[in-house]
Structure formats: C-alpha cells, structure tokens
Amino acid sequence: MWWLSAIYSESDDEVDAHAPGTAGSTAGIMRVAAAEIQKGNGKHISVVHRLTHFSATSDGGVQQVRGCTKVYQLRLVVPPAGDTERELRRWVGASVAPLVYHSRFHRRLQRLWSSLIADVTVPPHAQRVEVFFDVGFLRPENCTPERMERVRAALEGMADEPLRGYDAGMELHLPEPVRCDAGEEDCPICLELLEGDDLAAWTGCSKPHVFHGACLELVLRKSDRCPLCRRSWYIEPQRLRHAKHGQRQSAAKTLVGIFLFVCMIVLAFFTWMMYS
C-alpha cells in the first residue's frame, strides 16, 4: 500500500493569474491519496467536497461565514474495466456538478476542479483514490487578489480540521467503457455512428445505453439522469446515512432525557409537598 498527498492550486482566466488557487470569487485546494489494495475489494473513488463561504472585513481581510459551510461525500464505484486515474480525470468532475453544486456555481467549480486535477498523478495500479476538495467563496464585489489569497490561506489552515459530519452522502456508479462493432448503432445524443474507443454505457439501465464518451460527459455536467430512459445513476434511490443525521438524533435523545429527568424531579417535589 502507498499513499500520495499534495495541495494543488491553479488559476483561470476569470482572475489575475498572480492569485493562484482562485477562479474569480472562488479559491480551492485539493488533497489526493491513492492506495493499492488486494483484489476482490473493487475499485472506487471517494470525494469529499467542503464548500465554505467567506465575507470581507473592514481591514481588507476575510472571515468565515458561520453556518454557511456544506460538506458532501461521494463514493464513486469504478467499473472493473475502468482505469482509476482516467475515471478521476474525466467523469468525476463532470458528474458531481448537478449533485453537489448550486447551478450558479457549476461553471466556476468545474473549471477549478479541472485545473487542479490536471496536476494529479495516480499510480497505475491504484485501486482506491481519495480526494478532498476544499473550496472557498467570496462575493464578487469584495474580491481583490489580496483577499482571495487570504481565502486560499484560510482553506489551507482548515485542511487538518476534523469534519463535523456530512450534509449529504451519495454512492454512484461511474459510466462503463464499452466497445461496439462498426456500423451497429448511432449515439442517441449526437446521432452519429458509435465507433472508436471512446464509448461509454450508462450504468443501471434495464438495457445498457451506449454513448460517445464526449457526449455523455457533456450530459453529466448538467444532469444526473440517463438521456434516454431518465433513470438516475444512484446506486441506491436514497442518500447514504451521514454523520450529521446521527448527531441530530443523539442530540434529540439527550434533550428528551433531560426533559424527563426534570419532570421526575418536579413530580417528586410536589409529591413531597402533598404528604409533608
């Protein structure tokens, strides 16, 4: 087993290139770990997205907005014929957009993800990959290169903080690479002949629906359903149980226990008053 870890930061054309790790009003860092495990356990990619909102301060700095941090965990099952690094680069960034990001953040976060993941190198025999994608937002009207650099520095400082549960968790199958004989059928999206090595099947459909990989990638950036049968690509129809749910249940049980204890004390007091 081996592990790799790194923090990557890049920029795109929405902001001065001298502000690394930012995309307009968005900054991000990425940490990646990869491991080779024994055969039979299957291949998967685990992605944790932590999205944090920041506000500007009067002294030119930034501060974290309380209650505006969201954490999402996705476990993506890699098909047996799939290559973990290829799946990570191509499908993961495109597929998580409609599941995790608000529509107004789709474009900038996909750009940020793409720029950071481009520098990631996964060992060829890695069976498991874990990605932590930490993103910070600042209102566009408050953005300056100095403030965005402070947002990125704040994200790096938060990197080792323990997560306080997940707001949502999902488990998904990634598209499966397939081969088709020339002249068999057309791609349902572009209506051109399905041929070549860049073909993928939507998993979970009653009948496998095959598309050009590039066409399916465009669909995944906007939707989490098969273009033909509209079947969702979740493994389970319901979201995975996550830590915050358990924490809320535990807190509720504690409050009920305290309430019952107080009621018993009050009842005992009135009983003592009646018979004293």
Q: pLDDT, tens digit, for every residue of 80-95?
A: 777 777 777 777 766 6
| Residues across the chain | 276
Pairing relation of β-strands 26-35 and 22-23? antiparallel
Q: Is 2 exposed, middle or buried (0-12, 13-18, 19+ CB in 10 A)?
A: exposed
Among 99-103, 156-160, 251-255, the range with the most confident prediction by mean pLDDT is 156-160
Position 239 pLDDT exceeds 80: no
Contacts of residue 254, defined as CB under 8 A and 6 or more positions apart, other chains included, come to none
Q: What 3-state DSSP class applies to 250?
A: helix
CA dist 156 and 54 (Å) reads 14
Average pLDDT of every residue of the chain: 74
Give residue 175's pLDDT: 78
Is 72 in contact with 48 (CB distance < 8 Å)?
yes
| pLDDT per position as a tens digit, 125-149 | 778 888 888 888 888 888 888 888 8
- What pLDDT is attached to residue 32? 86
pLDDT at 190 over 80: yes
* Best CA proximity match to 98, nearest among 131, 68, 132, 74: 74
Cβ-contact 32, 46 below 8 angstroms:
no
Confidence at residue 12, expressed as pLDDT on a 0 to 100 scale: 39
The Cβ of residue 241 has, within 10 Å, a number of other Cβ atoms equal to 10
Do residues 78 and 45 touch, judged by C-beta distance below 8 A?
yes
pTM passes above 0.85? no
Domains and CATH numbers, the chain: 1-172+233-263 (no CATH), 175-230 (3.30.40)
Query: What would the mean pLDDT of 209-236 be, rounded to a whole number?
Result: 76
CA distance 30 to 120: 9
